[in-house]
Amino acid sequence: MDMETLLPLGKVDPGLRTPSEPLDIHKVADQSKLVEEIGYSSVMTEETKDDPFTVLTLAANSTESLGIGTAVTITFPRSPTVMALSAWTLQKFSKGRFTLGLGPQVKAHIERRYGIKANPLGPWMRDYVKAVKAVWNTWQNGTKLDYQGEFYNLNLMVPLFDAGPIEHPEIPIHLAAVNEYMCFVAGQVADGVRPHPVCTPSFIEQEMLPQIQAGAKAEGRSLKHFKVSMKPLIATASDEEQLQIKIKDARARIAFYLSTPAYIKAFSHHGLEDLANEAKLLSRAQKWEELPHLISDEILEKFVVIGTFDTIGDKLFERFGNVVTNSEFSIPVNKSGDKEQLKEIIKMLQSKGTNAARLNIEGNIQIGSKV
């Protein structure tokens, strides 16, 4: 299993809340060096409070071999040509270490935060990725730009704006996905998928992978190098007392996602659609403090990997090792011994490999999931 991390180390998914330890852009270079020293495969960044391409430029400049990637950047506010140039420049600067993770966002944010008209997300994303690749092909191979799609028509590229060829032109594209159609699109046009944190192993295996495989088959594509990159919901701490605090936070995050209609598919897979509707009503009534009470211990353990630092690595691999090639995970590195403890966990997880997940992704065998 290839291990990734967000910055700062120890960051947890906050839902819509401000993170307890937000990214400090002035520390990105030093933190990225530390991530590389610990032995991670990649450092990733979200698009929330800072421009992800700027953050990753800082990370690339301070490291030698560490992979860098967006997990994810918001797609549609940037035109395909603008996105193509940002990715192309970062791939050139990092000497081939960049992965472009794209997320569609929901309609309300597309229209009310970015001020553009929303289209059906699956077809829109498929057309967008094809348009980006068409621009890259023009720059790399000197072919005439002539992309005619459902939402984008690109046919003008003059020498002044032609970025030209680079040494590592194959930039992997990963798509954030929960629903079946976006998984199908990922299989058609992308190189990987990034399931939402609420996606359990059985949901990935039974709902997502068949659609990815169907999309790839429809286009005659191989899934040999296709990645499934997960940011699991994790509650972990150095001791049981601190772990209870993390469990309380995780319960609140699950409750928030339960109340969000965009993720209903992941919860209905486990027969929780009625509870999700109840959570949605509480959310609309702004009864936020009541939401966590909906999450039983059974539900919590189904969606969250829980354990102290000495057990969490094994539990993470046991949960996701059959369906995930890449996983985000970290613990804070604040005091003596933290770095070595994290280094041991990452080394252990990366030594496990991805063979079982690879076979499952490619559809050659069926593997039972833990939950």
- What is the phi/psi pair of residue 287, to 5°? -95, 60
- Residue from 202, 225, 175, 177 nearest 319 by CA: 202
Give every residue of the chain whose pLDDT is below 50, as ranges: 364-370
- Does residue 110 contact residue 118 with C-beta atoms inside 8 Å? yes
Cβ–Cβ < 8 Å for 232, 329: yes
- Residue 11: the pLDDT is 87
- Give me the residues paired with residue 260 across strands: none
Q: Distance between CA 103 and CA 96 in Å, rounded?
A: 22
Residue with tokens 């797609």: 75
* Architecture of the 2-71+172-238+308-362 domain: Alpha-Beta Barrel (3.20)
* CA 340 to each of CA 71, 86, 323, 333, 348: distance values in angstroms, whole numbers, following the listed order: 26, 35, 28, 9, 12
**What confidence tens digit (pLDDT) does each residue in 300-347 have?**
999 999 999 999 999 999 999 999 999 999 999 998 899 999 999 999
* pLDDT, tens digit (0-9, with 9 covering 90-100), for 16-29: 566 667 899 999 99
Q: Supply the pLDDT for residue 20.
A: 66
| pLDDT for the residue 14 | 62
Strands 42-45, 2-5: parallel, antiparallel or unpaired by DSSP? parallel
Q: What is the pLDDT of residue 21?
A: 76
Alpha-carbon distance values, 157 to 76, 89, 138, 139 (Å): 21, 17, 8, 9
DSSP label at 145? P
pLDDT at 144: 98
